């Protein structure tokens, strides 16, 4: 059993506050044969500089940047080692120092965490966090294999070759342990893909029914096609600043808090531990759950939960003063690479208690207009999973909601035309009414690395 040392649960304390002022991203597609990677990253950077109502010119903003953090899942896709140096040069940011970040599916969140740490420490006043994935330069099966090697190659990878094969037994285990109805998984797919229908950035939005999801082709039993995200290509970026720079650049900056956690790659051999309690939880709350685990020869986190997500939430809620996430957060963006990973995360980050995850969907809390809507962007199921950009994309969607810019970036017809699309005649706004705080989860593998970030309106 994992036992915490006296300092393991120390809440991060930054030397100075950190802010995000702007974000930019490309559209997300399966293939971009017409563009080099550097051109894609430039598109995301250009949107950040030019389309966020910043108070300085793009050239002046570039003149304020003094550190850059770049994230990509794998060099394999574009066959270019040290790709961050090539991108950095193309963006015109030499001779500023830059670092590359790789933490699997959590790369985007870890890239923001790295940039934020640089600003919080005083190493930088203004840092660029930019991520991408170029998954179209290999065939789908090869790409799936590359991704699967982020699990333990001694144990997991050789048993599968695609990540759906890792999540399928997790879905079965969660279903058995918590009596999860498969219709709830299907409802998550319907919700998230439905919200992506209203986004010009989205790769695979659409209106479906629960019945259509459950009648779909099985990818890896019990997960159906519409319950799985697709391989994507694209880029996303945010500008991370100290307080002085943030207010020089923006009339509506957001305060950033972010923390991370990890757990072994060996999903078949995960050590157990006591559940770290979130601020609104008590030890007595989980007495029944512990008894259930004991009677079924189970343990926490087992196959049902992500220790790293709970650990990251434990830290960041205390950093940000979040006492009860379902009440204190106005929206969340979750890592729904598969419907089951979305559902597992509800308990991990305290949107519900463990064992009550179904209620988040059935109560309506997770939907637009609910207490804490999730994945109004369309999430990974509907919009994208360009892995190195994913956690940054999620942060941007929370940022734009807090800045009341959902309609600007999702509803204007010229944005749809820019990507060769037509805005649906039945398009509707998913802008949350006067949001104050939002959170996002950037998740790797089957929970090997996770960051949880909180953004808070700062004006």
Tell me the CATH number at 88: 3.40.47.10
- Do 245 and 269 lie in a common domain? no
Is residue 149 one of the residues assigned to a domain? no
Radius of gyration of the chain (CA): 20
> H or E segment at 401?
helix 387-402
- Do 109 and 243 lie in a common domain? yes
The structure tokens 């999702």 sit at 410
Is residue 4 one of the residues assigned to a domain? no
- Do 130 and 237 lie in a common domain? yes
DSSP track, 293-343: HHHTT--SSTTT--HHHHHHHHHHHHHHT-S-HHHH-SEEE---SBHHHHH
> Which pTM value belongs to this model?
0.97
* Whether residue 335 has a cis bond before it, omega within 30° of 0: no
Is residue 415 one of the residues assigned to a domain? yes
- Do 319 and 243 lie in a common domain? no
Cβ neighbours of 123 (radius 10 Å): 13
- Do 287 and 323 lie in a common domain? yes
> H or E segment at 259?
strand 254-262
Is residue 153 one of the residues assigned to a domain? no
- Do 348 and 381 lie in a common domain? yes
| pLDDT beneath 70: ranges in the chain | 158-159, 268
Would you state the structure tokens that stand for residue 373, as one six-digit string? Answer: 């809507």
Q: Which DSSP state fits 452?
A: E
**Domain carrying residue 61:** 19-139+233-249
Distance between CA 17 and CA 28 in Å, rounded?
32
Is residue 374 one of the residues assigned to a domain? yes
- Do 352 and 270 lie in a common domain? yes
* Contact predicate 344/170, CB 8 Å: yes
What are the distances in angstroms from CA 320 to CA 19, 129, 247, 335, 365?
13, 21, 20, 21, 22
* Contact predicate 406/66, CB 8 Å: no
SS3 129: strand
Tell me the angle at which helices 307-320 and 339-348 cross, rounded to the nearest 10 degrees. Answer: 50
- Do 241 and 315 lie in a common domain? no
User: Which pLDDT does position 268 carry in this prediction?
Assistant: 67
Based on the structure, what is the number of domains in the chain? 2
- Do 25 and 130 lie in a common domain? yes
Is residue 220 one of the residues assigned to a domain? no
* Contact predicate 160/148, CB 8 Å: yes
Is residue 191 one of the residues assigned to a domain? no
Would you state the structure tokens that stand for residue 329, as one six-digit string? Answer: 């957060």
Q: What are the backbone dihedrals phi and psi of residue 458, each rounded to the nearest 5 degrees, phi first?
A: -120, 25
DSSP count for the chain of H helices, then E strands: 18, 11
Is residue 328 one of the residues assigned to a domain? yes
Distance between CA 392 and CA 385 in Å, rounded?
11
User: Which pLDDT does position 164 carry in this prediction?
Assistant: 84
Beta bridge partners of 255: 19, 456
* Contact predicate 276/239, CB 8 Å: no
- Do 307 and 432 lie in a common domain? yes
- Do 274 and 242 lie in a common domain? no
CA-based max dimension of the chain = 64
User: Which pLDDT does position 137 carry in this prediction?
Assistant: 83
The structure tokens 């980050």 sit at 349
- Do 292 and 429 lie in a common domain? yes
Which of 249, 274, 289 is at the close of a domain? 249
Which of 186, 220, 249 is at the close of a domain? 249
* Contact predicate 84/107, CB 8 Å: no
């Amino acid at each position: 059993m994992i036992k915490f040392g006296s300092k393991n649960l120390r809440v991060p304390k930054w030397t100075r506050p950190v802010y995000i002022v702007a974000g930019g991203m490309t559209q997300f597609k399966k293939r971009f044969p017409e563009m080099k990677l550097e051109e894609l990253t430039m598109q995301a950077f250009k949107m950040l500089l030019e389309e966020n109502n910043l108070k300085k010119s793009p050239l002046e903003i570039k003149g304020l940047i003094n550190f850059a953090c770049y994230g990509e899942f794998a060099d394999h896709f574009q066959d270019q080692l040290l790709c961050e140096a090539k991108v950095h040069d193309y963006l015109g940011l030499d001779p500023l120092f830059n670092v590359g970040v790789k933490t699997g599916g959590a790369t985007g969140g870890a890239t923001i965490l790295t940039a934020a740490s640089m600003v919080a420490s005083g190493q930088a006043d203004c840092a660029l966090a930019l991520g991408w994935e170029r998954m179209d330069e290999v065939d789908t099966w090869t790409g799936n294999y590359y991704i699967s090697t982020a699990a333990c190659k001694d144990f997991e990878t050789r048993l599968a070759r695609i990540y759906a094969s890792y999540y399928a037994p997790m879905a079965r285990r969660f279903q058995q342990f918590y009596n999860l109805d498969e219709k709830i998984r299907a409802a998550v797919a319907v919700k998230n893909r439905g919200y992506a229908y209203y986004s010009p950035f989205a790769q695979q939005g659409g209106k479906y029914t629960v019945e259509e999801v459950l009648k779909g082709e099985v990818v890896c039993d019990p997960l159906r096609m519409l319950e799985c995200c697709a391989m994507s290509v694209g880029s996303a970026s945010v500008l991370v600043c100290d307080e002085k720079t943030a207010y020089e650049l923006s009339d509506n900056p957001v305060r950033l808090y972010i923390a991370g956690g990890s757990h072994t790659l060996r999903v078949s051999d995960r050590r157990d531990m006591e559940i770290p309690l979130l601020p609104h939880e008590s030890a007595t709350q989980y007495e029944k759950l512990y008894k259930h685990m004991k009677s079924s020869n189970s343990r926490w986190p087992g196959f049902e939960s992500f220790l790293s997500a709970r650990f990251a939430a434990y830290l960041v809620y205390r950093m940000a003063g979040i006492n009860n996430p379902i009440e204190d957060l106005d929206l969340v963006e979750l890592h729904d690479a598969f419907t089951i990973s979305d559902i597992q995360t509800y308990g991990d980050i305290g949107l519900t208690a463990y064992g009550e995850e179904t209620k988040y969907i059935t109560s309506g809390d997770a939907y637009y207009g609910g207490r804490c809507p999730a994945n109004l962007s369309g999430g990974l199921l509907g919009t994208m999973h360009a892995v190195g950009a994913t956690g940054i994309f999620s942060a941007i969607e929370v940022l734009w909601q807090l800045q009341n810019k959902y309609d600007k970036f999702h509803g204007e017809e010229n944005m749809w035309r820019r990507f060769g699309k037509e805005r649906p005649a039945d398009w509707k706004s998913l802008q949350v009414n006067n949001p104050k705080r939002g959170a996002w989860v950037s998740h790797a593998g089957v929970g090997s690395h996770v960051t949880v970030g909180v953004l808070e309106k700062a004006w």
